[in-house]
Structure 1
Amino acid sequence: MKTAKPDLDLQVDRTLELPMYLQICQRFKTAIEQGNLRAGDRVPAVRALATELNLARGTVEMAYRILADEGYLQVRGAAGTVVSPSLPPPAVLKPQAAVAGQAHAVIVEHDGKAPKPLQMGLPALDAFPRKVWNRLVGHRLRGSEPARLAYPDPAGYDRLRERIATYLGVSRGVTCLPEQVFVTTGLRDTLELTFSSLSTAGDALWFEDPGYIFARLFLQNAALKVVPVPVDEHGLMVEAGKRLSPYAKFAIVTPSHQSPLGVTLSLERRMALLEWASKAGSWIIEDDYDSEFRYQGRPLPALKSLDRNDRVIYSGTFSKAMFPGLRLAYVVAPASAVARFQAASYNLKAGCPYLFQAGVADFIAEGHFSRHLKKMRLLYAERRAVTSRVFQEILGDRIRIDLQPGGLHILAQLADREDDVALAGHAQAAGLGVHPLSRWYIDAKPRQGLLLGFANVIDEKEARRLALKLKQAMA
């Protein structure tokens, strides 16, 4: 057995804020990346390294345990601990490069920089009533009593929970009590709260295929078995899900506006999904992320409004209805699970900032929220029509746009011979925030297409400029 090189530098810096066990982890990862440690190399014993670094044995044990969990080390009992022999060469030599490449390809929108044109998931940032918002938040800031400077309630600001419950009852047909509403920072936080409340390791979960890619990345790192269930023009194929995993513990769906295809889950499928959940004792997570914006026909009721057996967990967000910088969302827990959500909330969450929660509560209470949504529906209908018409005109036979009834993005379908990943890469290099549709698939045969956010395309001139830029990138 090979042994670690004697000149391996694992020293820690006690002046840094980074905990020493994490410094040790980083030293080992760097040594593996640079080739100073190779697959099969034996690393120093815990006691020996603790003595050498003048650290507590528990600190080194924690670092080794993390490295083993992440697959860098393999513990062999009395035979010692070695660099995992199963690490493939690319992961051994360039683990950070591989991760960075994946982040560039997928999580390109959440880097804190200025949004790119055609970026998905963004409302019209130019049309938000900032003066009204600033006034409401400023008033709360000036009038905050000392108690509001303390830690916020992890479950959410009580007045905001009340406003959300009232809004959902009127606009989405969801009957709930404020106690069922839990304020979160987004879908990821909602899922973490839900699974901490209701799941056990190894539970199966139906996931739309194609489905929301950012949720998928989170779920793949959770202790759940993701079961891809195909989607057609009527939404999630419930019968296929029952064949693949009849007793899955969860199903996560986007029934009002399927992400990314934009189709609506049919009433027949909705009833079938609810019946399955009731019989199997399963939970349905309804991600109702942008249902406020529908441009054809009457607004659809939420799946939760049809739930008679308390099996639907309703998830909503203010990121699309207001702006994503708020980092405010919410989840409606089933009445039978409120106590579990409450316990998990207090165990996991520090709570969302009071100031923004109070500002949103006032924004709703004073009628600004409903007026803003009405204004945005009209604005988005115009921008959607202009964007689709201009892009279809300029890109011609290269794309086909079939508008769906709602949402904040359009799907430009491509011929099967096209490579949407390569085309999206060229477009992104040109500064456009488009997504390749095929990346959103798991097991189903991927369709080729480009996902384009239209909410911030302010007029026909801007649409034409962006369409020409995309055409050039696709040449």
Structure 2
Amino acid sequence: MRRTDRAALLPVALERSSDKPMHRQLYDQLREMILSGRLVGGERLPSTRTLAKDLAVSRNTVAAAFDQLLAEGYLEGKVGAGSFVSGELPEEALATKGKIVDRDGATPRRRGLSKRGQRLASLRQPRGRRSPAFSVGMPDVADFPFDVWSRLMSKAWRRPPIDLLANAEPAGYLPLREAIAGYLRTARAVRCDAEQVIIVSGAQQAIGLAAHVLLDDGDPVLVEEPGYPGVRGALMAAGAELIPVPVDDEGFDVDAGERMAPEARLACVAPSHQFPLSVTMTLARRLKLLEWASRGDGWVIEDDYDSEYRYGGRPLAALQGLDRDGRVVYVGSFSKVMFPSLRLGYLVVPPDLTEPFRAARAALDDHPSTIAQPALATFIEEGFFAAHLRRTRKLYSQRQEKLLSVLQARVGHLLDVAPSEAGMHVMARFRPELAARMTDVEAVERARDKGLSLSCLSSYYAASNGHQGLLLGYAAVPEEQMAEAVDRLARVLEA
């Protein structure tokens, strides 16, 4: 096999009509790339022969520039390997590196964010490396049938048709949309066909697309309080004014929302499994919400979060299935039921909105990636998806039971934990003794040092109101590791 030069491509342009020698021009441009950080320490440069060929100059010209950079400490040579950017640059480079300079060479003043940018940035929660214990929303990827998945991916891309490579539909791969529509009709009682399904990169993009189509800048939107920051971010990025509406034991309080923002025409809710409180919206509240939307020519975005994992009680149909007036935009995702990096979700829109939504999808993002869509379509059609859901539903139910048992025995005096009928996490509220000693934010920070990934309840409220608690994800924690993980948590809380 012919050996190729795998070094970086350098955007160098030499002016042959310039009075400055070409080796000096090359030196200046390479030095500027190093000082500005465009070439980083340890990065390999092309060989003098390759670069001379690229620039149509003599090899001696390139060698002269390299020799000067080597002599000044910007480059270092490795025998048999070539020339590399130095890991330790000269003092002059260290003084300049990383600064943003204007055309006069002066460092400009710090640039400010827009008000929307500041609000969006404030929603970002600190997150480093996620640990299985007790990361919220993290599935057990070790249990996923990757042998099947890799076979389906390989089959789809062994000889892909041209339409899959270059003529993607804005709404997504039709066989996948057909498979999703069939699954939703059966499993979630969603009234839809493939034409109403639009593929996106996840629930947040789905909510953002719906907001762009249905809202103008400054329009008020009713959102759950507490609620998921990703939902709020997607709506805020579309220019919405968020109206936090309290969630109680019956779910989203429709009457309170009407009182708080009578002019609102859009509500975004998770009726089947609210995050983070895990409550389910009652039928009476669901019907009242649909009546509110119909009466005021409004809309409801239904985020069907974690609906696949329900362990107790009767299966719940989607809110969209109760809608007879075409007021609900249904949102779902495969991130939690398969694996997060899959980045595939979907909307189901009312029939008369399919064309506006497709046009908006194309305008904002042209079309979704088709890399995984054919494999996912087959994964659903051939029953692998349903089998995976059955297996993980049983597995996660057992893990929740184990976690509740261990928590009660080890930290029951500090945390009040109730079982959850659905989802992949339980909520643990602070008992007075613990609340007097630390906040949930402090608990999360201390737990991070112990290798635990917790989420604090207070961070999901738009306004500070004294709610203190922890969200404990259990789906990715094997039962045999549960006791040790809870013991680490206990040491954090008892400190």
Shorter-chain TM-score bucket reads: 0.7 to 0.9
Equivalent residue in structure 1 for 2:114, among 56, 62, 70: 70
Q: Match of 1:46? A: none
Secondary structure in 1 matching 2:329: strand
Q: 1:159 to 1:115 in 2, by over 3 A?
A: farther
CA distance in 2, matches of 1:259, 1:277: 22
The alignment status of 1:363 with 2:379, answered yes or no, reads: yes
CA contact 1:228–1:443 (8 Å) conserved in 2: no
How far the C-alpha of 1:198 sits from its partner, in A, is: 1.5
CA distance in 2, matches of 1:139, 1:464: 42
CA contact 1:387–1:457 (8 Å) conserved in 2: no
Cα-to-partner distance string for 1:74-114 (whole Å, 9 max, x where unaligned)? xxxxxxxxxxxxxxxxx9xxx9xx999x68x7141xx6x55
How far the C-alpha of 1:353 sits from its partner, in A, is: 2.3
Match of 1:371, as an amino acid?
A
How far the C-alpha of 1:26 sits from its partner, in A, is: 5.5
CA contact 1:230–1:444 (8 Å) conserved in 2: no
CA distance in 2, matches of 1:230, 1:189: 24
Q: Match of 1:441? A: 461
Instruction: Provide the TM-score with structure 2 as the length reference.
Output: 0.75
How far the C-alpha of 1:373 sits from its partner, in A, is: 0.7
Q: What does 1:184-203 align with in structure 2 at a 5 Å threshold?
A: 184-203=200-219
Q: Match of 1:238? A: 254
Q: What does 1:199-278 align with in structure 2 at a 5 Å threshold?
A: 199-278=215-294
Secondary structure in 1 matching 2:168: coil
Q: 1:446 to 1:219 in 2, by over 3 A?
A: farther
Q: 1:204 to 1:289 in 2, by over 3 A?
A: same
How far the C-alpha of 1:446 sits from its partner, in A, is: 4.1
CA distance in 2, matches of 1:99, 1:305: 33
How far the C-alpha of 1:17 sits from its partner, in A, is: 11
How far the C-alpha of 1:444 sits from its partner, in A, is: 7.1
How far the C-alpha of 1:116 sits from its partner, in A, is: 4.4
Q: 1:358 to 1:107 in 2, by over 3 A?
A: farther
Q: Match of 1:3? A: none
Q: Match of 1:280? A: 296
Match of 2:453, as an amino acid?
G
CA distance in 1, matches of 2:37, 2:207: 30
More displaced stretch, 395-404 vs 142-151: 142-151
Instruction: Provide the TM-score with structure 1 as the length reference.
Output: 0.78
The alignment status of 1:464 with 2:483, answered yes or no, reads: yes
The alignment status of 1:473 with 2:492, answered yes or no, reads: yes
Cα-to-partner distance string for 1:447-468 (whole Å, 9 max, x where unaligned)? 2110011001111x31111101
Question: What RMSD, in angstroms, separates the aligned Cα atoms of the two structures?
Answer: 2.8
CA distance in 2, matches of 1:360, 1:335: 24
Secondary structure in 2 matching 1:355: coil
CA contact 2:120–2:236 (8 Å) conserved in 1: no
How far the C-alpha of 1:124 sits from its partner, in A, is: 1.3
Q: Match of 1:427? A: 447
CA distance in 1, matches of 2:284, 2:415: 31
Q: 1:342 to 1:14 in 2, by over 3 A?
A: farther
Q: Where does structure 2 lack aligned partners over 5 or more consecutive residues?
A: 1-31, 39-98
Q: 1:448 to 1:177 in 2, by over 3 A?
A: same
Q: Where does structure 1 lack aligned partners over 5 or more consecutive residues?
A: 1-12, 19-24, 39-66, 73-90
Q: 1:71 to 1:294 in 2, by over 3 A?
A: closer
Cα-to-partner distance string for 1:120-169 (whole Å, 9 max, x where unaligned)? 11111111111111111111111312332215222110000011111111
CA distance in 2, matches of 1:351, 1:452: 36
Q: Percent identity?
A: 38
Q: Match of 2:411? A: 395
How far the C-alpha of 1:337 sits from its partner, in A, is: 1.2
How far the C-alpha of 1:27 sits from its partner, in A, is: 4.7
CA distance in 1, matches of 2:478, 2:132: 14
How far the C-alpha of 1:445 sits from its partner, in A, is: 2.9
Q: Match of 2:475? A: 455
Q: What does 1:22-41 align with in structure 2 at a 5 Å threshold?
A: 27=101, 37=109
